[in-house]
């Protein structure tokens, strides 16, 4: 019996090596990205090993979570989806009632760990949209669209209420990407975008003053260079002074001398751009493009609609992070708290991102299996 057990384990080991549960190119891309992230963080934190150690620990945790999720079959994920979605929305309600945080109520303290439930939605939102669309005829009609709209707007409304408009928009986008990938007719997309554009003036009234300021600041940062415009101006100075080749690792004066605020978190891309120049930026963007492309390739090879839509939405959400963060630090978009994936310092974001990649790994590993 003991021999049998050994033989069984050995078989499973060999099988898992032969048919890896992870996608090697994607894994390499992620490891490379995390390496770049830690190196940049080490410089941006002014060689603070504590910060880098903490981030590495989170990467390790996220990585373990990724490998764990990779072993869960998409079928199981699909079955759990409504409950996970309902659970995370309930947590959002809990945050709205009991949450804590500076100014905005985003955090939930469970005693042993503090986390942002909104981060969970980054995963459960595309899951829910994919789950729902999976059961509907595609391309979706107005009714399907309406139901999806409700599914999206409930958590997004709760998050926007915190207020955390940046995260709310990102989560809304991840849901919307599911609908886009499901084959929603272009004219309907056009109509929706038109309605969205028409709603912007109405939405302006619901924005908080600080949020309006951020948008106005974007239009003319020099109007208040020491106040509202400080972030945008100092970030552009950091990026622009980096030049073609950059100032070199740990030579970013803008961050080392504290001119650039939030230089380990939201504005770490500026530090990278200052140190590595345009060449480094283009290489980093290429790395992101590679990871996104690989994710979309995995999505295209998935065997059912749920897996396809889920993995596709997660990939495209990743792209939104990069474009929003990059747009923010270069002064194209208003300052919203969107981290640069796997480079910015911050635990919840790294863990939720890696969990998302775990879902992709799982879908990749199970692409050959027939799913009922």
Partner 1 sequence: MASWLRPLKDTRLEALVFRRRALAGFLIIGASLVALGARFAWLQVSRHDEFSLRSDSNRIVTRPLAPGRGLIYDRKGVLLADNVAAFRLEVTPEQVKDMDKMLAALRDVVPLSDDDVARFNALRRNKHSYQSVPLRLKLSEEEIARFAVNRWAFPGVDVVPYLTRSYPLGQEFAHVVGYVGRMDEGDLARLDKGDYAGTTHAGKTGIERYYEDRLHGEPGYEQVEVNADHRPMRVLEGGVAPQPGENLYLTIDAHLQEVAEAAFEGRAGAAMAVDPRNGEVLAMVSVPSFDPNPFVNGIASADYAALLNDPDKPLLNRALRGGYAPGSTMKPFMALGGLELGLRKPEDTVLSVGEFHIPGQSRAYRDDKRGGHGRVDLVQAIAQSVNTYFYSLALDMGIDRLSTFMTKLGFGKPTGIDLVGESGGVLPSQEWKRGRFNEPWYPGETVIAGIGQGYWVVTPLQLVQATAIVADQGVPHPLHLLRAVQSGIDSKPKLVDPPAAKPSVIKNPADWRAVQQGMIAVVASGTARGLNDRFPYVIAGKTGTAERYSRTTEEWTMISSSPIERHQVLFEAFTPADDARIAVIVALEAGRSGAHDAAPIARKMLDAWLPIDQAEQERRAAETSGDASAANAGQP
Residues binding partner 1 (CB under 8 A): 137-139, 141, 143, 177, 180-183, 234, 236-244, 253-254, 257-259, 273, 277-278, 281-282, 285, 288-289, 292-293, 296, 299-300, 304-305, 308-309, 312, 316, 319, 322-323, 326-327, 330, 332
- Between the alpha carbon of residue 262 and those of residues 267, 268, 327, 335, the distances in Å are 6, 7, 16, 11
Nearer to partner 1, 280 or 346 (CB): 280
Residue 59 and residue 39 in contact, taking contact as beta carbons nearer than 8 Å: no
**Considering beta carbons, is residue 80 or 180 the nearer one to partner 1?**
180
Q: How far is the CB of 323 from partner 1 (least distance, A)?
A: 5
Q: Where are the alpha helices (DSSP H) in the chain?
A: 2-18, 24-44, 49-71, 74-98, 117-134, 142-161, 165-181, 186-206, 209-219, 230-242, 253-256, 268-300, 305-329, 347-365
Of residues 37 and 277, the one with the C-beta less far from partner 1? 277
The partner residues of 108 in beta bridges, in order of sequence, read: 115
Is the Cβ of residue 148 or residue 273 nearer to partner 1 in the bound state? 273
Give the residues across from 107 on adjacent strands: 100
Joined tokens for residue 135: 């059961």
**CB environment 276-285: b (16+ within 10 A), e (fewer):** bbeebbeebe
Q: How many CA atoms lie less than 13 Å away from 283 in the CB half-sphere? A: 13
As measured in angstroms, the least distance from the Cβ of 246 to partner 1 is 9
Residue 274 CB, shortest distance to partner 1, in Å, is 8
Contact 265, 339 (CB under 8 A): yes
**CB nearer partner 1, residue 95 or residue 313:** 313
Q: How far is the CB of 261 from partner 1 (least distance, A)?
A: 8
Instruction: For partner 1, give the closer residue by CB, 207 or 237.
Output: 237
Measured from the CB atom, the residue of 27 and 298 that comes closer to partner 1 is 298
In whole angstroms, how close is the CB of 260 to partner 1 at the nearest point? 8
We find the least distance from the C-beta atom of residue 144 to partner 1, in angstroms, to be 8
Q: Of the two residues 117 and 277, which places its CB atom closer to partner 1 in the complex?
A: 277
Provide, rounded to whole angstroms, the least separation between the CB of residue 366 and partner 1.
Answer: 16
Alpha-carbon span 323 to 172, nearest angstrom = 16
- Min separation Cβ 20 and partner 1, Å: 23
Tell me the Ramachandran region of residue 249: left when phi exceeds 0, alpha when psi lies from -120 to 50, beta otherwise: beta
Burial of residue 224, with CB atoms counted within 10 A of its CB: 0-12 exposed, 13-18 middle, 19 or more buried: middle
């Amino acid at each position: 019996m003991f021999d049998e057990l050994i033989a069984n384990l050995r078989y499973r080991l060999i099988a898992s090596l032969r048919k890896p549960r992870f996608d090697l190119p994607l894994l390499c891309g992620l490891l490379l990205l995390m390496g770049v992230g830690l190196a940049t963080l080490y410089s941006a934190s002014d060689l603070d090993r504590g910060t880098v150690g903490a981030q590495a620990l989170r990467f390790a945790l996220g990585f373990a979570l990724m490998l764990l999720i990779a072993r869960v079959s998409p079928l199981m994920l699909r079955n759990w989806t409504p409950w996970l979605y309902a659970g995370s929305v309930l947590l959002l309600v809990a945050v709205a009632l009991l949450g804590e945080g500076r100014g905005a109520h985003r955090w939930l303290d469970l005693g042993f760990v503090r986390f942002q439930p909104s981060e969970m939605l980054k995963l459960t939102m595309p899951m829910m949209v994919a789950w729902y669309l999976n059961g509907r005829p595609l391309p979706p009609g107005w009714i399907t669209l309406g139901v999806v709209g409700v599914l999206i707007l409930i958590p997004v409304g709760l998050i926007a209420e915190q207020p955390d408009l940046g995260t709310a928009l990102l989560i809304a986008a991840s849901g919307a990407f599911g609908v886009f990938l499901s084959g929603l007719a272009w004219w309907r997309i056009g109509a929706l975008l038109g309605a969205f554009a028409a709603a912007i003036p109405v939405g302006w009234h619901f924005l908080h003053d600080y949020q309006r300021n951020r948008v106005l600041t974007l239009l003319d940062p020099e109007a208040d260079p020491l106040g509202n415009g400080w972030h945008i101006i100092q970030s552009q100075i950091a990026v622009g002074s980096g030049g073609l080749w950059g100032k070199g690792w740990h030579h970013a004066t803008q961050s080392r001398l504290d001119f650039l605020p939030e230089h380990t978190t939201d504005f770490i891309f500026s530090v990278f751009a200052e140190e590595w120049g345009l060449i480094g930026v283009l290489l980093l963007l290429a790395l992101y493009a590679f990871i996104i492309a690989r994710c979309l390739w995995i999505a295209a090879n998935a065997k059912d609609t749920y897996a396809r839509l889920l993995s596709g939405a997660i990939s495209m959400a990743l792209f939104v992070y990069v474009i929003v963060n990059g747009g923010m630090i270069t002064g194209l978009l208003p300052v919203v708290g969107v981290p640069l994936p796997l480079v910015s310092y911050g635990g919840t974001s790294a863990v939720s991102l890696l969990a998302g990649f775990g879902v992709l790994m799982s879908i990749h590993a199970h692409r050959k299996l027939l799913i009922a």
